[in-house]
Structure 1
Amino acid sequence: MASIKNLKKDIDYIVSEIISDCYIYLYFNNNANEDKVINIISKSVELRNDLFHRTNNPEKNTEKKVSKQHYKNIYKDLLENSDNLFGQLSSLSK
């Protein structure tokens, strides 16, 4: 990972893609499954807030390896949770 700045940009980009896909789904499906889609949107906002909190508040006085692993775990959580949310949305459209 290049920098914390790029991590934050990735978090914002991926979460905004989830949210925009949810709104596109609602638009093209005449608000079908609206409660479930709103739930996916709220989970994605919670994910963004949690990841930003973890990014902005790392453990103090840690070794470089520990700090690097901390940010790798954040990135891993971003990818796993976003894949899960995209999967939930795609299961609604089947």
Structure 2
Amino acid sequence: MASVRELKKDINFLASELVTEAYVKQLVKEDVDNDKIAEVMVKAIEFRNDLVARANHPDAKDNPKMVKSYYQNLRKDMMEKFLSISKDTNAL
């Protein structure tokens, strides 16, 4: 299993990619609604904050199997949320 440090690096990277994607979309397309772009950026930052908080406080610290399962679910949630926000950005 990857370390929590690596997981948090991945979370930060994905969140920064979402913000960058929204910012580039705002610069490239002239007909984009700035309020919707700001909403996507806020979602990306909330995504980052929520996942880092979850990574820092796993459930059942005494049971290694439950901790492993917890982090596997966290990674799955991370990818689902990232794809969802990315689709929102592409729809703008």
Question: What is the TM-score with the length of structure 2 in the denominator?
Answer: 0.92
The 3 A distance-change label for structure 1 pair 64 and 48 is same
CA RMSD across the alignment: 1.3
* Distance in 2 of aligned mates of 1:61 and 1:41: 33
- Give the Å deviation of 1:62: 3.0
Identity fraction in percent = 33
- Give the Å deviation of 1:90: 0.8
Q: 47-56 or 24-33: which moved more?
A: 24-33
The answer to whether the aligner puts 1:34 opposite 2:34 as a matched pair is yes
Q: Which residue of 2 aligns with 1:71?
A: 71
Gapped regions of structure 2 (runs ≥ 5): none
- Give the Å deviation of 1:13: 0.4
Q: Which residue of 2 aligns with 1:13?
A: 13
- Give the Å deviation of 1:60: 4.6
State the number of aligned residues.
92
The 3 A distance-change label for structure 1 pair 23 and 31 is farther
Gapped regions of structure 1 (runs ≥ 5): none
* Distance in 1 of aligned mates of 2:72 and 2:42: 24
The answer to whether the aligner puts 1:89 opposite 2:60 as a matched pair is no
Q: 4+ residue stretches of structure 1 with deviation over 3 A?
A: none
The answer to whether the aligner puts 1:22 opposite 2:22 as a matched pair is yes
Q: Which residue of 1 aligns with 2:44?
A: 44
